[in-house]
Amino acid sequence: MVVNSHANLVTLRKLLVVAMVMFGFGFMLVPFYKKICEVTGINSVLKADEVTNSQVEAGRILDVQFDTNLRDDLPWTFRPLEKAVRIHPGELTQVMFEIRNNSTRTITGQAIPSYGPQLAASYFKKLECFCFKQQTLRPGEERRMPVVFVIERGLPKDVNTVTLSYSFFEIEGTAAKVN
């Protein structure tokens, strides 16, 4: 009996060590993931872009259109205040978007941008954007939010229209947070 009890104690210790190693590994995954994203440029939509060429190309005009979408039955109204703007490449531009929480509960959402044509993403530089952080709205709250951007020179000449599209997603498990 004593041998069997000793074997159970050794097994229990091994399981405890394995559980602690697994916890430590899981704990270290978050900073490891963040560092990988930082190095590779993945998930860089959550920070301001760096503008490398700010000269205005006065001889060229681009049409920039804005599109908004809501995902997962998010009970918000979301729209650009201007459907489109005409700009010169290199010109600093600000546009405003409006969101409204139409529900009776506080909701947090995150906007994710996309571009059309896709190659425009390399030239579209956002300096200020509501998409850089989560937005928390109380019931009935309405908010106007700016996007400040530059489309850098070098965008291929055959591209005359660029579409900036935002999709807002609800962030689950954040109902208690309020800005």
Residue 165 included in any domain:
yes
Distances (CA, A) of 117 to 110, 149, 153, 156, 162: 22, 17, 16, 11, 6
**3-state SS assignment for residue 134:** coil
Helix (H) / strand (E) containing 166: strand 161-170
Domain hosting 75: range is 46-170
CATH number of 70's domain: 2.60.370.10
pLDDT at 169 over 80: yes
Q: In what order do the strands lie in the sheet with 76-80?
A: 76-80, 93-101, 142-151, 124-129
Q: How confident is the model at residue 179 (pLDDT cuts 50, 70, 90)?
A: very low
pLDDT at 147 over 80: yes
Tokens 């039955």 locate to 73
Retrieve residue 13's tokens.
């210790």
Number of domains in the chain: 2
Claim: this prediction has a pTM higher than 0.75: no
Residue 178 included in any domain:
no
Q: How confident is the model at residue 55 (pLDDT cuts 50, 70, 90)?
A: confident
Retrieve residue 173's tokens.
């498990």
